[in-house]
Structure formats: structure tokens, C-alpha cells
């Protein structure tokens, strides 16, 4: 029996697409900003895009680019917070998640661990349990001190610390956190002594309120890069490159329909193609018969 080649399409977030298309400008922008960050000018920015537009995939790429330049990068996917949570919960989350995603074990982050110990934070594996008493500390102080300690640990290994926060709209119920983050990053000591470079991603509605004219958060995390729809030629490239070496072919008419259906959204493109790939017969995906209405094939 012929063993079919595994489905080459990547509709799940976290599955790296075979090629990333249409993001050259964004990648160049990041490289330029990373260069500036290494020289001490951290120009934090935000990426917005609807579901499936490729925010997570782009952040992964940023992380790869940073690591290729031997720069520490930590990609944190923000949890969903509720109104029952406080700004402090958000800060605790960041303090727990950022260090554990750097490419060294927590035990090597000596200053950070010392700082945690001084607060009686319990370390279990790579998780942190904060004692009740931290509620008496202002979250901004907690975040600033944790970042300062963390910088002391990584500065001998890395020229900057890239921190990628994915899906920050999940912070919406505790949106005071953005002010805390901004204030921590504009703390004099943080600016003088550290090179943390933050990149945030959000769905557009999650960032809307910060886009009001001269809003301090929108102004601070700027520019805002709005992820663009993929153009037809790029979508075609995605399909062709995925199908390479699979022995499977999509008929031209199918490709055209898929491209028009996806409307430039990479997730939709990957998802429809993954479905069609699974339905291949003998290595071919074609319009076997005229199906009405047209939408049925998807
Ligand atoms: N630029 C791109 N080129 C090709 N495929 C992409 C691109 N961006 C994303 N994808 C694919 O689309 C899917 C959705 O992307 P994702 O990064 O999860 O979107 P978002 O985080 O904005 O919801 C991913 O599984 C990935 O395979
Ligand atoms: Mg995502």
C-alpha cells in the first residue's frame, strides 16, 4: 500500500508554514528595529491583525531572526484574563512566563532567582508561586525590579532581550497592565541599564481604544503594523510550495477557487487546502463534477 505523504498544509497555530509569504517588509522592519535595540534604542511596537492573519507565525519568525543573531528572545502567548483578575495577576504572569522562555534554565538566571527568593516566591519546576505578601507591592515596582534582575542575568549572553507578547487583547479585562508595562519600560533605570525590546500582537478590536489620538499606550507602542492580506501570487506560492514533493496536484480551477475563497487570510488558505489535500484521489484534486452551489466544495 502506498503511504500518503502527510498533509503539508498548516492550518493550526503553532504549525510552522512551509513558507512565510508577504511579510518581507515586516521582517525587514523587525531586523532594523532589532539592530537599534542592540545599540540601546528599544522602539517597542505592536502588530495587529484579525484571527488567522498570521500574527503568531510572524512572531515566531521574529524570534528565529533574533536567535539567529544570538539574541535572547522570549515568546509569551497571553492567557485569557477575566474581570476577577487584577493588574498584579497580569504582572505575575509576565514575571513567570518571560524568563522561562529564554534559552537558559531558570537556575542560571541568578539575579532573577535571588530577587524572587527575596520576595519568598516559591519555585516549583519552572513555575513560580507568589506569596500573599506581594499584594502589598505595587505591580509596577514588581515588574521593574524583575526586569532589572533579569537583564543582569542575560546581558552577558545577549545584546538585547526580545520579548514577544502574543494576543495581548487577552489583557483587556486588566487593561491597566498596559500602563504598568509602559511605566516600567520608561523607568529611568530600565532605560539606562537594560535593552528589553517588546513586540506586542493583538486583534484590531483589542487595540482600538489605544488608537485614539495621542493615547499614551498607542503612542508608546508604535508604530502599529497592520498585517496585510496575502495577495493572489503569494497565496499561489504557498499552495505550490506545500505541494512540492508530495506528488499531489491541485487542478488550476481548484487553485483559483481556493485563492478567491481565502480572501487573503493565510489561515483560511491553509485550512481549505488541508481539507482538499485530504480528499485527493490518486494524487489529484480536481473538480470531478460540477457542484452546485459552488460553495459546496469548500
Ligand atoms: N505569511 C504567511 N504565509 C503562509 N502561511 C501563513 C502566513 N502567516 C500565517 N500562515 C499560516 O496561517 C495559519 C494562521 O496563522 P497564525 O499565525 O496562527 O495567525 P494568527 O496568530 O494571526 O491568528 C498558520 O497556521 C500558518 O500556517
Ligand atoms: Mg495567534
Find the 7 Cα to ligand 1 centroid distance in Å: 16
What pTM does this model have?
0.94
Is 238's C-beta closer than 6 angstroms to any atom of ligand 1? yes
Nearest alpha carbon, ligand 1 atom 2: 20
**Is any atom of ligand 1 closer than 6 Å to the C-beta of 17?**
yes
For residue 10 and ligand 1, the question of a CB distance below 6 A is answered with: yes
Averaged pLDDT score across all residues of the chain: 93
Q: Which CATH number fits domain 24-226: 3.30.70.1710, 2.160.10.10, 3.40.50.300, 3.55.50.30?
A: 3.40.50.300
pLDDT > 90? residue 16? no
Query: d(Cα 16, Cα 5) in Å, to the nearest integer?
Result: 17
In contact, 81 and 171? CB cutoff 8 Å: yes
Q: How confident is the model at residue 291 (pLDDT cuts 50, 70, 90)?
A: very low
pLDDT at 8: 94
Q: Determine how many CB atoms are found less than 10 A away from the CB of residue 51.
A: 10
CA angle, corner 290, sides to 284 and 291, nearest 5? Answer: 100
Q: Is the pLDDT of residue 60 over 90?
A: yes
CA distance 174 to 204: 17
The finding on whether 12 has its CB within 6 A of some atom of ligand 1 is yes
Per-residue confidence (pLDDT) for residue 167, from 0 to 100: 98
Rounded to the nearest whole angstrom, what is the distance from the C-alpha of residue 60 to the centroid of ligand 2?
10
Q: What is the DSSP letter of 281?
A: B
For the CA of 51, the closest atom of ligand 1 is 23
**The C-alpha cell that represents 5 in the structure block:** 505523504
Calculate how far, in angstroms, residue 50's C-alpha sits from the geometric centre of ligand 2.
9
pLDDT tens-digit map of 21-45: 999 999 999 999 999 999 999 999 9
**What digits encode the pLDDT tens for the residues 239-251?**
999 999 899 999 9
Is the confidence at residue 195, as pLDDT, over 60? Answer: yes
Per-domain residue ranges of the chain: 24-226, 232-297
54 CA to middle of ligand 2, Å?
A: 7
Residue 99 Cβ contacting ligand 1 at under 6 Å:
no
Ligand nearest to C-alpha 59: 1
Dist. CA 12 → ligand 1 center (Å): 8
Chain-centroid distance, C-alpha 242:
23
161 lines ligand 1 (CB under 6 A): no
Cα of 63 from ligand 2 centre, angstroms: 14
Distance, in Å, from the CA atom of 166 to the CA atom of 25, rounded to the nearest integer, reads: 20
- The DSSP secondary-structure symbol of 7 reads P
Q: Is the CB of 8 under 6 A from ligand 1?
A: no
Helix (H) or strand (E) holding 11: none
Helix (H) or strand (E) run with residue 269 in it: helix 266-278
Tell me the CA–centroid distance for residue 159 and ligand 2, in Å.
Answer: 27
Cα 141 to Cα 8, 44, 249: the distances in Å are 47, 20, 58
Least confident of 6-15, 77-86, 209-218: 6-15
Ligand 1 pocket test, candidate residues 17, 55, 265, most atoms within 8 A of CB? 17
What are the φ and ψ backbone dihedral angles of 221, each rounded to 5 degrees? -95, 80
Amino acid at each position: 500500500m502506498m503511504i500518503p505523504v502527510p498533509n503539508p498544509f498548516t492550518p493550526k497555530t503553532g504549525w510552522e508554514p512551509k513558507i512565510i509569504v508577504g511579510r518581507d517588509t515586516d521582517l525587514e522592519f523587525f531586523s532594523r528595529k532589532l539592530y537599534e535595540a542592540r545599540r540601546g534604542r528599544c522602539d517597542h511596537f505592536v502588530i495587529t491583525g484579525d484571527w488567522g492573519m498570521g500574527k503568531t507565525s510572524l512572531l515566531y519568525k521574529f524570534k528565529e531572526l533574533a536567535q539567529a543573531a544570538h539574541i535572547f528572545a522570549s515568546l509569551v502567548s497571553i492567557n485569557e484574563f477575566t474581570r476577577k483578575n487584577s493588574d498584579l495577576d497580569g504582572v505575575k504572569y509576565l514575571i513567570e512566563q518571560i524568563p522561562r522562555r529564554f534559552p537558559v534554565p531558570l537556575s542560571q538566571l541568578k539575579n532573577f532567582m535571588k530577587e524572587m527568593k527575596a520576595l519568598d516566591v516559591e519555585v516549583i519546576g519552572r513555575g513560580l508561586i507568589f506569596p500573599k505578601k506581594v499584594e502589598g507591592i505595587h505591580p509596577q515596582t514588581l515588574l521593574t525590579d524583575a526586569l532589572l534582575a533579569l537583564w543582569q542575568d542575560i546581558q552577558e549572553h545577549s545584546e538585547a532581550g526580545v520579548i514577544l507578547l502574543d494576543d495581548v487583547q487577552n489583557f483587556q479585562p486588566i487593561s491597566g497592565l498596559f500602563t504598568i508595562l509602559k511605566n516600567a519600560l520608561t523607568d529611568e533605570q530600565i532605560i539606562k541599564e537594560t535593552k528589553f525590546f517588546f513586540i506586542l500582537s493583538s486583534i484590531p478590536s483589542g487595540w482600538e481604544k489605544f488608537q485614539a489620538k495621542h493615547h499614551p499606550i498607542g503612542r508608546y507602542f508604535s508604530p502599529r503594523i497592520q498585517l496585510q492580506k496575502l495577495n493572489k501570487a503569494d497565496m499561489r506560492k504557498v499552495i505550490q510550495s506545500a505541494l512540492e514533493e508530495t506528488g499531489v496536484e491541485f487542478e488550476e480551477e481548484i487553485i483559483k477557487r481556493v485563492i478567491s475563497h481565502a480572501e487573503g487570510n493565510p489561515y483560511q488558505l491553509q485550512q481549505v487546502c488541508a481539507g482538499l489535500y485530504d480528499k485527493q484521489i490518486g494524487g489529484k484534486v480536481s473538480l470531478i463534477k460540477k457542484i452546485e452551489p459552488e460553495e459546496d466544495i469548500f
